[in-house]
Amino acid sequence: MNGTELMTLRHHDLVVIGAGSGNYVIGDSFADLDVAIIEERWFGGTCLNAGCIPSKMLVYTAHVARTVRMAGAYDVDAELRTLRWREARDRVFQRLDAERDNGRNGREHEAWVTVYEGRARFTGFRTLRIDTGDGTVDVSAGQIVLAAGGRPMVPGPVVKSALPYETSDTVMRIDSPPRRLAILGGGYIAVELAEVFAEAGSSVAIVEKEERLLGPQDETVAERFTDLARSRFDLRLGREVTAVDGRPGALRLTLDDGSTAEAEMLLVAVGRVPNSDRLNLEAAGIATHDDGRVIVDEHQRTTAEGVFALGDMCSPVPLKHVANREAKVVAHNLRHPDDLTACDHELVPAAVFTQPQIASVGATEQDCRDLGLDYRVGMTGYGDVAYGWAMEDTTGFCKVLAEPGTGRILGAHLMGAQASTLIQPLVLAATLGIDAVTLAKSPYWIHPALTEVVENALLDLSL
């Protein structure tokens, strides 16, 4: 870049690339700076537009439908006529699209913020070129935050086929559910969306290379959830897709054992990749891991001075609540370089909003074995407590792993109603160092609330 070009650069004190959790970085304390936000696709990021929020709104709709359909178990005569897909979809996205537009408009009306809509790539040290669609804009910055998120991964055979497919970015906005849906992948995105479309009337086949669904979960959770899923979906486990052929609306998937699966629509949900490869990071001296994640230290600083990163671009735990926490750390560290705070990813809770729900924090039992830890297991079924009787629940459970002697909670795993809420006292105890015995015996536990399943799992530990 020659001297003349340097003179044409628009300079900002701070540039944030990505308006998902990146937008959370910029609070009122930055109003004394010249700030820019660059967003290629949509304000609010994946979570608001194609991830956590719309999927959970549709999942909840599916759960209501399932409750009606299963009402006979409680001696209630009810009939499910239909899940009105298009109305449900419009209810969800009319609200969320308005939230997205409000977020963008709010930023555009702040005098100290410049919004660029387009794709950014580095041209040098803290310099960027933005392709806006109507031309290019060159900018420089005193500090930069990378928060450009990730995108769905698409396997080679699907790309090679040149046939249409959906991802979590697109499938929730389709006009009508297919009669037959094939899903590649057995992780949380795959199983949540499988439930949505099954309740909307689709026949669902899931192709997963592992022998169980939700493989990273605790082995008891993965095994029991997979057993439950067999009665609801056509599971092709331990299999990979080698080819996709046919025509739009009449697809045939060939698996590595020679078997086939036919579907009107294919949903690819095999994982996500960071968008780091789209930013020309090498030009800025920003290093990445082998999987494409930007390398950061505990303060979210990259290998380039003055450049921070957060969220799915860099995080070892690509979850929205982690990205939001990292955004808070980055916001503080941008303004307080002499008083840096760190981000801790050791005890991050997570949930899968299936029916039944799943929630976890800390180590799985297989982690404990692999690490050679001395541990004890406490476990209680939902059917062992009074509220579980009311629910007629025969499959839910709480499993707690703790260190003998100290009672330190190593991990906790729930499968059942309200799991994403019930996990929280265990998250607090593990985070704050409250031992299992103290947690079980010191506070009152309401009877006959479902929280008794957590209390009894703690009491079941032989410490």
When pLDDT is averaged across residues 185-196 and rounded to a whole number, the result is 98
Give pTM, 2 decimals. 0.95
Q: Among all residues, which ones are annotated catalytic?
A: 447
Q: What are phi and psi of 170, to 5 degrees?
A: -120, -30
Distance of CA 213 to the CA centre of its chain: 16
Please report which confidence band the pLDDT of residue 8 belongs to, taking 50, 70 and 90 as the band edges.
confident
What is the structure's pLDDT at 235? 98
Q: What is the pLDDT of residues 292-339, one digit of tens each?
A: 999 999 999 999 999 999 999 999 999 999 999 999 999 999 999 999
Q: CA 367, CA 348: separation in Å to the nearest integer? A: 15
Across the chain, mean pLDDT equals 97
When pLDDT is averaged across residues 144-157 and rounded to a whole number, the result is 98
Q: What is the DSSP letter of 343?
A: -
Taking alpha carbons only, the member of 55, 27, 122, 98 closest to residue 324 is 27
Q: CA 239, CA 217: separation in Å to the nearest integer? A: 19
Distance of CA 10 to the CA centre of its chain: 35
Taking alpha carbons only, the member of 274, 255, 145 closest to residue 206 is 255
| Cβ atoms 181, 203 nearer than 8 A | yes
pLDDT greater than 50 at residue 283 = yes
What is the structure's pLDDT at 2? 44
Determine the Cα angle at 60 with ends 186 and 66, to 5°: 85
Strand ranges inside 321-375, DSSP E = 350-352, 358-362
pLDDT greater than 50 at residue 25 = yes
Taking alpha carbons only, the member of 326, 444, 458 closest to residue 402 is 458
Domains and CATH numbers, the chain: 3-150+273-335 (3.50.50.60), 156-270 (3.50.50.60), 356-459 (3.30.390.30)
pLDDT greater than 50 at residue 248 = yes
Q: Which amino acid is at 398?
A: C
Q: CA 368, CA 70: separation in Å to the nearest integer? A: 38
Q: How many residues does the chain have?
A: 463
Q: What is the pLDDT of residues 84-132, one digit of tens each?
A: 999 999 999 999 999 999 999 999 999 999 999 999 999 999 999 999 9
